[in-house]
Structure 1
Amino acid sequence: MVFSGNSRGDGSVMRQESDSLGVVDIPGDMLYGSNTARALKNFPIADRVLGAETQLVRALAEIKKSCALANLSLGVLDDNRAAALLSACDDMIAGKLNSHFVVPLLEGSGGTSTNMNVNEVLANASLLKLGQQPGQYQMVHPNDHVNCGQSTNDVIPSAMKLAAYRLTDAVVASLQSVSKSLQGKAAEFSAVYRLGRTCLQDGQPMTLGQAFEGYAAVIRRAAERTRVQQQRLLTIPLGGTAIGTGLGASPGFRERLFEQMPEVTGLAVQPSANRFDGMQNLDEFQRLSAELETATAAMAKIAKDFILLSSGPAGGLAEISLPAVQAGSSIMPGKVNPVIPMSVVQLAQIVHGNHACIAMVCQDGMLEINHYEHALGSRLFDSLHRIEEIAGTFGPLCIDGIEANVERSMENLQSSFALATTLVPKLGYAAVSKLVKESIQTRRAFLDLAREHGLIDADEIIELIESVVRVD
């Protein structure tokens, strides 16, 4: 790039752009323009910037490329402009321009700053390919050429849908991996007898494997439901321009656009069945977020069970042992905390908060559009990234290394009243009630008393447990 303009005094070269609000200084090595520069001053937000959200950048580039191809086919763009713009779009898709996308995701302009950041970078990248300097927009203009047939109002929600769609792939894969790990442990622990508990009180006999079967099933279902909702993100409002009427696009633009989109994206993208619905409402994002909240809540329930079942190791339940992945205390020697399950619970808390924000955004849209969509995008992308990261550690760093404490589990089972009900047919209700009362008064195990009174022997106890936990 050839730099132009005046030195800022710190060794860097500045260039200037003029818009309807006046003259703006822009770093000479950056491809954005005046709209972006103003956004950086207006929204000095310490949040992820557009360039860091690579799937959103890719989706925006694919949209701009599809629009350019549609305009080229309609004769709205000439061959030279289109060739430069399409090449710039390909660079953007490849991630070569990410450093120039500097607007924070939480910008407050309803998406205009983000869209213009993209338009300006693509215009200036195109100008360089044509031998022109950035800011000389006669050949390729951010609005007249890059944004032709589009508005922020249809581009941004469409790009967010495509980005969320792709990010959901990794989330579903991570959930499936968690379910697979849980199912593997269900098989491994199929003959480990334990005390089932309700309301944290002694319940009935079961196997540890049966508990893990339930864990695996709910995560598998969460992955399936998330996948179903993911598919609904492929219906996008692109072509509706500002409010759904399509005003500002050339005749035939929408049809040509959706001929290009599947080829450019590799996805089965479809236009919104009702343009005005597509522009006004963000409910498909809210539904995806709800599935993510449900999935992380299910993982958190499992994680909290692991924390309880591994408590101790001397003063708690200690029916399972979790892998020791790091020291648990800076002052208590030898202490190891359940840090991976704790991080899973924390994940659910974060996703729940994100979902609350997303629900508020969806209800706060006004009239023809929802101009708070960037808050939604920021929170939804955060949930998607966090779930992929944390769920990705839950299996290999925790579930896969869980060990069953067979003796402790059997001890807790036999020390409880869990088998009292099953002995009624053999001993009678009155005799069993008397044993339970004696066990409470003497603080001795129920089955120990039954053996002492000659009412049952050790082999019968095992046979009884096996018969009770058997599921047809």
Structure 2
Amino acid sequence: MTQDIDYRIEHDLLGDAKVPSSAYYGVQSQRAIDNFDITGVKLSHYPNVPRALAMVKKACALANRDLGMLETAKAEAIAKACDEIIEGELHDHFVVDMIQGGAGTSTNMNATEVICNRALEILGYERGQYDHLHPNTHVNMAQSTNDVYPTSMRLAMVLKHKSMIDALESLKAAFEAKAEEFKDILKVGRTQLQDAVPMTLGQEFQAFATTIGEDIQRISDMAALLREINLGGTAIGTGITADSRYAPLAVKYLSEISGEEMILAGDLVEATSDMGAFVIFSSSLKRLAVKLSKISNDLRLLSSGPNCGLNEINLPEMQPGSSIMPGKVNPVIPECMSQIAYHVIGNDLVVTMASEAAQLQLNAMEPVLVYKILESIQQLTSGMQMLEDKCVKGITANPEVCQGYLDRSVSLVTALNPYLGYENSSRIAKAALKSGRRVIDLVLEEKLLSEEQLAEILKPENMVAPLDLSGTVH
């Protein structure tokens, strides 16, 4: 038997509507719930979204209080309600779908209504008694969705990307630890999947660490572009309905509340419609995704087999690999990381198209852009933590396999090239490939170099770094 839900009646431009009595959100949020049942991913899915919205609303309330536009008691009640949300309370009342029409109006009103109804309780009233404190008149004073939404979402990304940077730094350190562990293991380097020249397994893993390490500073630099905001621009950037002193004061409060330096844009009309910072930041996430997928593919290749593949390294065994082939174990963690990368790359295209869709003074497609960037940050963070904990930390090497490939490979000829000359080296390489004999044996047989010379040239440290070749004149 279904229990009847207790409702209250609220009113907006379109008329009356029922809202659950237990809800802190109001009529406009309810309409968004009814209209936009799209992804199943609500604003509350990303905790920094409610937090950032509350930070912005608090900053605006304090600025309006200081300017004498908002009564002190009302401003302080709004600020207290915002503090509760910043601390993690009431997030389950942020119920609007991440994808929505209206350029984020539903998100702004969801936050406004939750804050208003909680502030009403703080003032001693009941939810919905808007004649004492109104969502639009008071909580949204001197604001528009068109400056509140992009400002809040930029701040949410600034806050959220830090955990991704932490995961990136930790993964880099894990690869560096493996580089140190494998520094003395010689192997064949490969280009175009063909034998190339000798290297160490440590150098290969250090390259992984270096390439993702480059993105730590780059992503942080790109995230800094998100700090420029249009708060105070209201509807289209002209600042209509706001006091002339309001914008810099609201931004100052927002920086203090969030602990992040937010910067007022120089041209608020331009900043209201331009999504350029989102495009650049998303592209930096795509760049990282591409690198992580490349590394994951390399780990799969290096561990392939084990009996009929490269088998130079062993990945941790995480789960049985087949419902029909006994004993088979698949590289499921790198496979998952690559799939995350494909998703992030696709998200970047969504961000690009949504950014291009700006028309005149506004971009109505911001919600899907915001959703996809936040999704990319979260998935990259979780993916890198998974890759580190369930794969990289447990990788072991097969030194004998690596050395065996090197012994049989004609790649040693390249190391001898400065001493033999290109023609001799090419001839030796061709003979080795045709006969299956070792390069070393052919060189000794033809007395092109002595055993002592070969031993010196083929020392590990002499094959994997530049040498002083001043005495090898041909």
TM-score of the superposed pair, with normalisation by structure 2: 0.93
| Equivalence for 1:4 | none
The answer to whether the 8 Å contact 1:56/1:159 transfers is yes
| Equivalence for 2:465 | 470
Paired with 1:342 and 1:34, the residues of 2 have a C-alpha distance of 45
Paired with 1:83 and 1:470, the residues of 2 have a C-alpha distance of 66
Within the alignment, does 1:327 sit opposite 2:320 as a pair? yes
Shift of 1:455: 5.9
Cα-to-partner distance string for 1:46-69 (whole Å, 9 max, x where unaligned): 331112221011010011001111
Give the one of 99, 107, 121 matched to 2:100. Answer: 107
Within the alignment, does 1:405 sit opposite 2:398 as a pair? yes
Paired with 1:237 and 1:80, the residues of 2 have a C-alpha distance of 27
| Equivalence for 1:68 | 61
| Equivalence for 1:16 | 9
Give the one of 227, 239, 247 matched to 1:234. Answer: 227
Mean CA deviation greater in 440-449 or 67-76: 440-449
Give the one of 342, 348, 357 matched to 1:355. Answer: 348
Within the alignment, does 1:42 sit opposite 2:35 as a pair? yes
Shift of 1:87: 1.5
Within the alignment, does 1:53 sit opposite 2:34 as a pair? no
Within the alignment, does 1:383 sit opposite 2:376 as a pair? yes
Cα-to-partner distance string for 1:210-259 (whole Å, 9 max, x where unaligned): 12222111111011100111222221110100111100112311132123
Counterpart AA for 1:420:
V
| Equivalence for 2:295 | 302
TM-score of the superposed pair, with normalisation by structure 1: 0.94
The answer to whether the 8 Å contact 1:15/1:28 transfers is yes
The answer to whether the 8 Å contact 2:39/2:98 transfers is no
For residue 205 of structure 1, give the secondary structure of its aligned residue in structure 2: strand
Within the alignment, does 1:88 sit opposite 2:81 as a pair? yes
Cα-to-partner distance string for 1:364-405 (whole Å, 9 max, x where unaligned): 111111111000011000000001101012222212222221
Shift of 1:448: 4.6
Counterpart AA for 2:241:
G
Paired with 2:236 and 2:196, the residues of 1 have a C-alpha distance of 59
Percent identity between the aligned chains?
38
Paired with 2:97 and 2:423, the residues of 1 have a C-alpha distance of 72
Paired with 1:201 and 1:275, the residues of 2 have a C-alpha distance of 55
Shift of 1:439: 2.7
The answer to whether the 8 Å contact 2:52/2:155 transfers is yes
Paired with 1:172 and 1:282, the residues of 2 have a C-alpha distance of 23
The answer to whether the 8 Å contact 1:50/1:101 transfers is yes
Paired with 1:293 and 1:237, the residues of 2 have a C-alpha distance of 26
The answer to whether the 8 Å contact 2:148/2:231 transfers is yes
Cα-to-partner distance string for 1:182-205 (whole Å, 9 max, x where unaligned): 112222222111111111111111
Mean CA deviation greater in 44-53 or 421-430: 421-430
For residue 107 of structure 1, give the secondary structure of its aligned residue in structure 2: coil
| Equivalence for 2:218 | 225
| Equivalence for 2:308 | 315
The answer to whether the 8 Å contact 1:69/1:260 transfers is yes
Shift of 1:76: 1.2
Give the one of 180, 198, 205 matched to 1:205. Answer: 198
Give the one of 242, 248, 260 matched to 2:241. Answer: 248
| Equivalence for 1:156 | 149
Paired with 1:261 and 1:297, the residues of 2 have a C-alpha distance of 35
For residue 204 of structure 1, give the secondary structure of its aligned residue in structure 2: strand
Mean CA deviation greater in 451-460 or 441-450: 451-460
Q: Structure 1 unaligned runs (5+)?
A: 1-7
For residue 194 of structure 1, give the secondary structure of its aligned residue in structure 2: strand
Give the 3 Å change call, closer, same or farther, for CA 236–79 of structure 1 in structure 2: same
Cα-to-partner distance string for 1:146-202 (whole Å, 9 max, x where unaligned): 000000000000001100001110111111111111112222222111111111111
Paired with 2:371 and 2:149, the residues of 1 have a C-alpha distance of 13
Give the 3 Å change call, closer, same or farther, for CA 93–453 of structure 1 in structure 2: same
Mean CA deviation greater in 246-255 or 98-107: 246-255
**For residues 405-444 of structure 1, what are the structure 2 equivalents within 5 Å?**
405-424=398-417, 426=419, 432-444=425-437
| Equivalence for 2:472 | none
| Equivalence for 1:273 | 266
Paired with 1:65 and 1:429, the residues of 2 have a C-alpha distance of 73
Within the alignment, does 1:140 sit opposite 2:133 as a pair? yes
Within the alignment, does 1:119 sit opposite 2:117 as a pair? no
Paired with 2:33 and 2:254, the residues of 1 have a C-alpha distance of 31
Paired with 2:333 and 2:133, the residues of 1 have a C-alpha distance of 52
| Equivalence for 1:264 | 257
Counterpart AA for 1:147:
N
Q: How well do the aligned residues superpose, as a CA RMSD in angstroms?
A: 2.0
The answer to whether the 8 Å contact 2:49/2:152 transfers is yes
Shift of 1:330: 1.9
| Equivalence for 1:288 | 281
Give the 3 Å change call, closer, same or farther, for CA 328–78 of structure 1 in structure 2: same
Paired with 2:290 and 2:322, the residues of 1 have a C-alpha distance of 27
Paired with 1:335 and 1:436, the residues of 2 have a C-alpha distance of 37
Paired with 2:333 and 2:455, the residues of 1 have a C-alpha distance of 35
Paired with 2:108 and 2:33, the residues of 1 have a C-alpha distance of 14
